[in-house]
A and B are shown apart, each in its own frame.
Chain A
Amino acid sequence: MNDIFLELKEYSRFVWRCLQRTIDGDWRYFTWMTALTAVALLGLNAYCKQFAAGLMTTGMSDQVSWGLYIANFTFLVGMAAAAVMLVIPVYVYKDETLHDVVILGELLAVAVIVMCLLFVTVDLGRPDRFWHMIPGIGKFNWPISMLSWDVIVLNGYLALNAHICGYLVYCVYEGRKPTKAFYLPFVFVAIFWAISIHTVTAFLYVGLGGRPFWNSAIVAPRFLASAFTAGPGFLILTLQVIRRVTNYKVEDKALMMLRSIVQVSMVINVFLLFCELFKEFYTDSAHVASAKYLFFGLHGHYGLVPWIWTAMALDLVALTLLVLPVSRSLKYLDIACGLAIVGIWIEKGMGLVVPAFIPTQLGEIVEYFPTLNEWLICAGIWGFGLLLYTLFLKMTLPVLTGELRPEGRPLADLGH
């Protein structure tokens, strides 16, 4: 008992010392953090306006009842799930290439899940009643409602990753070998859990018979393929920033392995998209209306057409770069990743969520245009998420490089 108490004390001390690191930094760090804080606060301000006036401050309507918030949520669930693509090579295939960066992927998952939860919260008409969703004290419609599943898997994934990151980094800090029983089972559960968060999020849409655009078995595989493109793509960009502004070493071969992951996922992603488009347009049944609206416009309404063709162009350029040897050069790899992330963000967000509502179940066409306030709230959550991720990195990297050790202990060069 006393041991546990001491351990907890030591752990709090560890967290506190890591936290102290977050107020250290050069002008670049403070500028970055100030900018993110400013964006996050603009978002908070916009949300307060929405809270006071209601969701009328958004572009949503009875006809298009979900918009940017749920679109971002869907995209980000994928980003969070993508950590699994680093975990599998390291823990299942014992491949050491990504060993040093896997924890950075898991930290990203934690920050991104927080963003997901925020996006769902800002979409609620009655955020004050969030407790109705808490199992036990609320009235949880589990296992019937897919949304209740989503609440469980997202919070579970957050807890799993927070535990894995906290425990492993703490062990590095203490300079001891992690006890397998304390993390390996969680790592393997987290692999399945990562797949489940994005599958459940897909099923949220797939399960609705009244929305033919979503009612397609390919949505979950498409979600996973696009997630495994955008997530590792984002990490490729992050890792290069890290190795430029910190003394944490990220080897080129880790980036190249991530490139292979992004490459294969992108090929599968585009293939699945092609399958979906074939089914929609070749069949040409009444169910094609939403896809027609998305790609070509419907009855004189073209709101999403520029978006989706931008996404298609970005996807195709990214795909071409990724499959060509040219993306072994980091410059082109970065461009490819950047384009793929934006392309997938559009395709999965505006391209998946919004057209299912257009035309409505009764054939009416009401278009959706997000308001400035809505954009600000989204930007705010992105700003806050990046802020959180930066803080996590700032706390973790000094431990991983061996700079931060318990007081009175020599700075051992343990690596990770």
Chain B
Amino acid sequence: MSDPELPPEGGMSRAAFLAGMATSAVAATAAALAPLKDVADLPSLEEFLQKHYTELTPEDKKAILERIAKQVEKDTGVRPNLKDPPPIPGVEFGYALNIGRCIGCRKCVYACVEENNQSRDPQLQYIRVLKMRKGSIDVETSDHHYEGQVPEEGFYYMPVQCHQCRKAPCVKACPVKATWQEPDGVVVIDYNWCIGCRYCMAACPYYARRFNFAKPSLPKEDVNPDMGYLSNRPRPKGVVEKCTFCLHRTREGKYPACVEVCPTGSRKFGNLLDPDSEVSQIIKNKRVYVLKEEVGTLPRFYYYFDL
């Protein structure tokens, strides 16, 4: 197999040969590593060592919010009003969408992008509107990329976004508890803890989660400065994000952006624990269903129709 006495190449000493091999290996490795000089978004030491959200003290949080606000200002030129509003006791958010009234105008899609500081290029959207043929509830026959006049004869429209499931498969999937359910029912992600394995995306039955394949781009003029730590602050590259029912708004008594913008009033939002709230009344009195009931996720997002 081997003969230490035999130089591998004629005329060259064994030591010289090995030294030559080692030198070329080091040089080739250095060349291979060259693209690393383009890395522009390495985490700072504080960011790298940041603890899990649930382990942060109020002082930690304050320092982190300040650090992120500074970073956002540096990146976009806009000083954000970055907060971390807590869930309101006695509130569990629920959503109801009138499938009979939606006209498929996608105003919700774009209001959401503007509100939540999603990346513009590549553009990320949390809401997907399916153009469905009347007479079918099979999503496979739907059109996701319809254009032209809406509503079109013979079709109805079904918007889908995160259903904030009570039994959320994505929360179960995450290996590092970077995504969890808040007491008000909103499933959130800590963008500073997500490792970007995308197992939650495989687990989600509703195609609700998006991944930052590239560094998100958010032009200065598009920045929404009212930001929440667990919702619409700008995201880093390589992490997953999703709809949070605009918790930076809804925890302060406002409606989600998609509810506010809907021209047909198809979108209803409120407190499931309050029997008199609009959503509670809809669930009680209308024809209500949830999407993919058979997967057992128990969504807090309901579809309904009048009758």
Contacts and interface: CB of A to CB of B under 8 A. Distances in A.
B4 A362 contact: no
- For this complex, into which size category does the number of interface residues on chain A fall? 35 or more
A15 interface: no
A126 B142 contact: no
Given A44-B33, A54-B213, A362-B206, A132 B195 contact: yes
Contacts of A100: none
A208 B238 contact: no
A66 B196 contact: no
Interface in B21-67: 21, 25, 28-29, 31-36, 38-40, 42-43, 48, 52, 55
Interface in A173-222: 204, 208-211
B1 A247 contact: yes
Contacts of A62: 201, 207, 209-211
A55 B169 CA distance: 24
A126 B197 CA distance: 8
A53 B292 contact: no
A59 to B, nearest CB: 10
Interface in A34-70: 34, 37-38, 41-42, 44-45, 48-49, 51-56, 58, 60-63, 65-66
B149 interface: no
Interface in A86-134: 120, 123-130, 132-133
B35 A48 contact: yes
Interface string B172-210: 111111100000000000000111111101111111011
Given A48-B33, A132-B193, A362 B174 contact: no
Contacts of B275: none
Nearest to B22: A23
A145 B140 CA distance: 30
Interface in B206-241: 206-207, 209-215, 236-240
A398 B128 CA distance: 62
A110 B260 CA distance: 57
Interface string A131-174: 01100001111001111100100000000000000000000000
A300 interface: no
Nearest to A125: B196
A3 interface: no
A296 B38 CA distance: 43
A363 B193 contact: no
A65 B8 contact: no
Contacts of B6: 26
Contacts of A54: 212-215, 237-238
A357 B42 CA distance: 31
A129 B39 contact: no
A282 interface: no
A278 B203 CA distance: 25
Nearest to B48: A128
Contacts of B282: none
Contact of B36 (A52, A127, A148): A52
A133 B176 CA distance: 6
Contacts of A60: 213
A27 interface: yes
B139 interface: yes
Given A41-B28, A45-B34, A30 B203 contact: no
A42 B203 contact: no
Contact of A37 (B25, B176, B237): B25
Interface of A: 21, 23-27, 29-30, 34, 37-38, 41-42, 44-45, 48-49, 51-56, 58, 60-63, 65-66, 120, 123-130, 132-133, 138-141, 144-148, 151, 204, 208-211, 245-247, 286, 289, 299, 356-357, 359-364, 397-398
23 contacts: A29-B2, A41-B29, A51-B35, A53-B214, A54-B214, A62-B207, A62-B210, A62-B211, A125-B197, A125-B211, A125-B238, A128-B42, A129-B193, A129-B195, A130-B195, A132-B193, A133-B175, A147-B173, A147-B175, A245-B1, A362-B144, A363-B138, A363-B141
Interface of B: 1-4, 6, 8-9, 18, 21, 25, 28-29, 31-36, 38-40, 42-43, 48, 52, 55, 122, 128, 130, 138-142, 144, 160, 169, 172-178, 193-199, 201-207, 209-215, 236-240, 292, 295-297
